[in-house]
A and B are shown apart, each in its own frame.
Chain A
Amino acid sequence: MAESVFKISKAKIYQKDALILKEVEMHVEKGEFVYLIGKTGTGKSSLLKTLYGELPLKEGEGSVVGYDITKLKRKDIPQLRRKIGIVFQDFQLLTDRNVYKNLFFVMKSTGWKNKAEMQKKADEVLNLVGLENKGYKMPFELSGGEQQRVVIARALINSPDLILADEPTGNLDPETSREIMKVLMGISKQGTAILMATHDLSLMEKFPSRVVQVKDSEILELETINTFNPFQPIIKDED
């Protein structure tokens, strides 16, 4: 039986007092790559925020990388986030330090002490995203795609079981987006589950995988992108 990295059932997700999603039933298994699609404002980001503890799960059941998110206390949130990697559309690198220092910051803040091990891990994750020799570059010296790769490398530092990516290719051109997708797919194949919110159907066609749609405050499980035509879109009936 496959191992669930996260599982949510009978959940209601609120943004302040507004109900965003109801009766959420969803699970993602180890090493799985799942697209999360839906119109802007349907609650994709709210679902991701709930998974990384930014929004509380007030009703229902939910377990993320071994944490019961219904009982999450403020002090548990950093520990939860160390077991998941978060990748955003806007890169959110620390702009006042170079790539290595961005990675070392995460390591130091998550309990790494040994400098040699830190350097080794930083080189390892940079290698994984194809940014060897870029460690001493400042963020502004990197292209958008390279910055996003650094963010992915940063998300990989603590060998997370799950990566939550909120439109990671949203600001990138098609070619760079495809490069980022290759990196994410490669990571997924190595055993890290990835839940990626996106609007980019062409990427889904190019890199087929399981698709989950957010619609009318509900989560719908769809057939894999292999078996349906993304250009007769799943979101079309919403218009």
Chain B
Amino acid sequence: MQEGLDKYTRRRAQTAYVSTIVGISLVLFMLGIVAIFGLVIQKLQKQVKENYQIDLFFSEEVPKADIKVIEAEIDQMDFSVKAEYVSSEEAWAKIQNEFGEKSLDVIDGEIPIEPSIAITISENYFNLDSIRSIEAKMLAKYPNEIVDVNYSEEGLESTNDKLFKTTYFILFIALLLLVISIAMINNTIRLALYSKRFIIKTMQLVGATNGFINRPMIVQAIVQGLISSVIGMALLVGLLYLIQVYLLDISKLLNVYLFLQIYLGITITGILISVIATWFALRKFLRLKLEDLY
């Protein structure tokens, strides 16, 4: 009878251990999905921002060689990802290509478009104040060469607004999931430790210090966090593989560095949540009086 009871107790302890790991793994898997989603969105946002261009139009009288020198100078500036010289002919060809050959007429044998430099702006300068400051800086630096600076204020503001909303939406979802995760892991760990409350009390009664009782359980929490992060990451990789094979090509959005970032993130999160929840649960059980155990 006693043996049966003890086997039952041990099996229950093992089940509690396994279900804690499964619980933490699933929560980390969920957090991993949000992290991947967030990082991919961040990458897309960067791409959107770095598609934005400022065009500097130069007087017809400025020789091409001088514009090429300016192009090289701008290319080295902080705000510029890339500066590219566009001749009148190239611009004309592009317009004809986009709008059709009859869309614009050559006036008196001259192409009505000045040569220009198209600057691709770094994502850090993707706001109206910075763009205006770049405009002013360019006009001040090349007052005799530049005749016009062209960029879309509306496009910039509308894109910025969308990106802002998307970012905060993802942050909100991530935060919400983090809170849910902490609550779930905390609950799972507390239940698992609840089954050890008599052992904890026995340890106290034979003179073990709280540190001595805590140490192996904190180590166990670290191991739980580590195992769970490996399982969570494996599930995540599996899911992404299935998406790649059966749904859409996501290979360009993902790379090893991104995976390492996420793995590191969920490992640290898993260990931290597991250790903190264990520490709080232990603190509670270590303070329980004998009569409160039943």
Contact = CB atoms under 8 A, between A and B. Distances in A.
B202 interface: yes
Contacts of B209: 75, 78, 109
B6 A138 contact: yes
A79 B207 contact: yes
A81 B205 contact: yes
Interface string B85-107: 00000000000000000000000
A110 interface: yes
Q: Helix, strand, loop or mixed for chain A's interface?
A: helix
Most chain A beta carbons < 10 A, residue from B205, B212, B289: B205
Contact of A110 (B5, B198, B199, B207): B207
B203 interface: yes
Contacts of B13: 96
A141 B3 contact: yes
Nearest to A15: B291
B9 interface: yes
Contact of B207 (A54, A95, A106, A140): A106
A55 B10 CA distance: 31
Given A54-B289, A54-B290, A140 B6 contact: yes
Interface in B190-229: 198-199, 201-210, 212-213
B195 to A, nearest CB: 11
Contacts of A75: 209
Contacts of A78: 204, 207-210
Contacts of B289: 54-55
B2 interface: yes
A222 interface: no
Interface in A49-80: 49, 52, 54-55, 75, 77-80
Contacts of B2: 140
A108 B174 CA distance: 44
Nearest to B5: A140
Interface in A72-97: 75, 77-82, 86, 92-96
A52 B206 CA distance: 10
Interface string B1-35: 01101110110010000000000000000000000
A224 interface: no
Interface in B276-294: 289-290
A140 B206 contact: no
Q: How many residues of B sit at the interface, in one of the four size bands?
A: 20 to 34
Given A49-B290, A54-B289, A92-B198, A109 B6 contact: no
A109 B207 contact: yes
A44 interface: no
Contact of A96 (B10, B208, B212): B10
Nearest to B202: A92
Most chain A beta carbons < 10 A, residue from B6, B202, B213: B202
A12 interface: no
A94 B202 CA distance: 8
Most chain A beta carbons < 10 A, residue from B7, B10, B207: B207
A148 to B, nearest CB: 13
Interface string A86-123: 10000011111000000001101110000000000000
A139 interface: yes
A77 B204 CA distance: 9
A54 B209 CA distance: 14
Contacts of B6: 95, 138-140
Contact of B206 (A79, A86, A95, A141): A86
Contacts of B3: 140-141
Contacts of A55: 289
A86 B207 CA distance: 10
A154 interface: yes
A158 interface: yes
B9 A82 contact: no
A48 to B, nearest CB: 10
Contact of A92 (B5, B7, B9, B205): B205
20 contacts: A54-B289, A79-B207, A80-B207, A82-B207, A86-B205, A92-B201, A94-B203, A95-B6, A95-B10, A106-B206, A108-B212, A109-B203, A109-B206, A110-B208, A139-B6, A140-B3, A140-B6, A141-B3, A154-B206, A158-B207
Given A94-B199, A140-B5, 4 more contacts: A54-B290, A55-B289, A92-B198, A96-B199
Interface of A: 49, 52, 54-55, 75, 77-82, 86, 92-96, 105-106, 108-110, 138-141, 154, 158
Interface of B: 2-3, 5-7, 9-10, 13, 198-199, 201-210, 212-213, 289-290
3 tightest A-B CB contacts, nearest first: A109-B208, A82-B207, A140-B6
